[in-house]
Amino acid sequence: MGTGFKKAALALACVAAATAAAPAGAADFFKNKTVTLWIGGGVSGGVNIYGRTLAKHIMGYLPGKPDFVARNLPGAGGMGAVTTIYNRAKKDGTEFATFAQGPITDPLLRPKRKYNYDMLKLIWIGSLQSNIQSCYVRSDSGIKTIQDARDKVVKMAATGARSGTSKTPLALNAAIGTRFIPVTGYRGSGGTYLAIERGETAGRCASYASLNAVHSDWIEKKYVRFLVQIGPKPHPALKGVPRAYDLAISEKDKALLRFMYQPLAVSNAFALPPGTGQDRVKEWRAAFDATVKDAKFKAAAKKLRLELDPSDGDTVARVMREIYATPKDVVARAEAAFRARKGRCNPKVSKKCRGKKKRKKK
């Protein structure tokens, strides 16, 4: 056997050994597999629509092009999807999750309660939207302006007591003097929409984009009236609708609102379980970045009226760190607002609260 042949044989053996020692390639791993998406929201809500639309298109950018199945876990503001992906999901890249924003700040707001998840340990793939929330009511509710909601008690549909649909109106009560009362217990976004239709509540505080995706007819036919918008910037479709930040009574109130809308910057985010291997994380993030640039995905989103303003996984992780670095006094004020459960008549913003001063007895 010649020296050249021996060297070639040795080189081939080394390659084979290295291949055997290395983990399976991405294409080999994902091929013929089914990926599970856990959705923290009902089938008729915006979280579901955004989640399934992304999942349908991102599979084509994962090496091996796996299939996917979506599982909805509505209620509790998306908590079910969070606990599932954090505690029970496989850490091999075959399970990911998306959920509403209520669970993001819960561990901050209730530090004495033990939570079986940590937002800072989730591995973020990316988010699809920088969101603007709005509070809206049926046009025939008798509530026409945000001032009316300061003068009168207004029932608003919500899912869980710690969900965003409950937290937002309560934060507004504390910060701008509204008198919203969240009516909780409705199952997913669909349940809150039905509550409005049945007249059980006047309206709802939630994502404008989700409403536009699910009930654009309500907007077009003016079935609902928008009272206020919540977010770091005004929404172009809500011209003339006041921003909560501009209505804040004090600087402390503005700080409370900033804390509340921080999570909106990374709405409809997608996460992998803690402990997922770095190779899988890189593949998921690369697939996400390619998907949000894909013309077919953009066309599908446009058809479904989904607003897109994506952020990568590192950006989502940074925003989460910023949220958890919020000063304790701001967090304490937010929690006090959520404990109130309803708005008290505030004489600073409502003349109807002032009444007549009692005469002093002589």
Range from 113-117, 266-270, 284-288 carrying the lowest mean pLDDT: 113-117
Q: Confidence band (pLDDT; 50, 70, 90) for 354?
A: low
Evaluate whether residue 3 is within a structural domain.
Answer: no
Distance separating alpha carbons of residues 209 and 214, to the nearest angstrom: 9
Total domain count, the chain? 2
Q: What's phi and psi for 50, nearest 5 deg?
A: -60, -45
Q: Confidence band (pLDDT; 50, 70, 90) for 156?
A: very high
268 touches 167 (CB < 8 A):
no
Percent pLDDT > 90 in the chain is 68
Evaluate whether residue 187 is within a structural domain.
Answer: yes
pLDDT digit string, tens, across residues 48-92: 999 999 999 999 999 999 999 999 998 677 889 999 999 999 999
Q: What is the dihedral of CA 104, 110, 113, 114, to 10 degrees?
A: 30
Same domain, 95 and 152: no
Indicate whether 187 pLDDT > 70. yes
Which tokens sit at 73?
A: 């876990």
The pLDDT of 145-174, averaged and rounded, is 91
Residue 275, sorted as left (phi over 0), alpha (psi -120 to 50) or beta, turns out to be left
Same domain, 271 and 127: yes
Same domain, 165 and 252: yes
Same domain, 144 and 226: yes
Same domain, 190 and 303: no
Assign residue 310 the CATH number of its domain: 3.40.190.150
Identify the domain boundary among 209, 242, 262.
262
Q: What's phi and psi for 183, nearest 5 deg?
A: -105, 105
Assign residue 257 the CATH number of its domain: 3.40.190.10
Evaluate whether residue 336 is within a structural domain.
Answer: no
Same domain, 186 and 304: no
Which tokens sit at 303?
A: 């058809």
Q: Confidence band (pLDDT; 50, 70, 90) for 15?
A: very low
Same domain, 208 and 246: yes
Evaluate whether residue 349 is within a structural domain.
Answer: no
Identify the domain boundary among 217, 247, 262.
262
Same domain, 184 and 246: yes
pTM: 0.79
According to DSSP, the residues that pair with 228 across neighbouring strands are 135
Same domain, 213 and 110: no
Same domain, 271 and 240: no
Evaluate whether residue 220 is within a structural domain.
Answer: yes
Distance separating alpha carbons of residues 167 and 174, to the nearest angstrom: 11
Please provide the average confidence, as pLDDT, over all residues in the chain. 88
Evaluate whether residue 357 is within a structural domain.
Answer: no
pLDDT digit string, tens, across residues 141-155: 999 999 999 999 999
Range from 75-84, 99-108, 291-300, 339-348 carrying the lowest mean pLDDT: 339-348
**Pick from 270, 207, 352: which is nearest to 62 by CA?**
270
Q: For residue 159, what are the domain limits?
A: 133-262
Same domain, 126 and 172: no
Which range of 11-20, 66-75, 152-161, 313-322 scores highest in mean pLDDT? It is 313-322
Same domain, 210 and 255: yes
Q: Which residue has the tokens 């989103």?
A: 301
Q: What's phi and psi for 269, nearest 5 deg?
A: -90, 155
Evaluate whether residue 352 is within a structural domain.
Answer: no
Evaluate whether residue 147 is within a structural domain.
Answer: yes
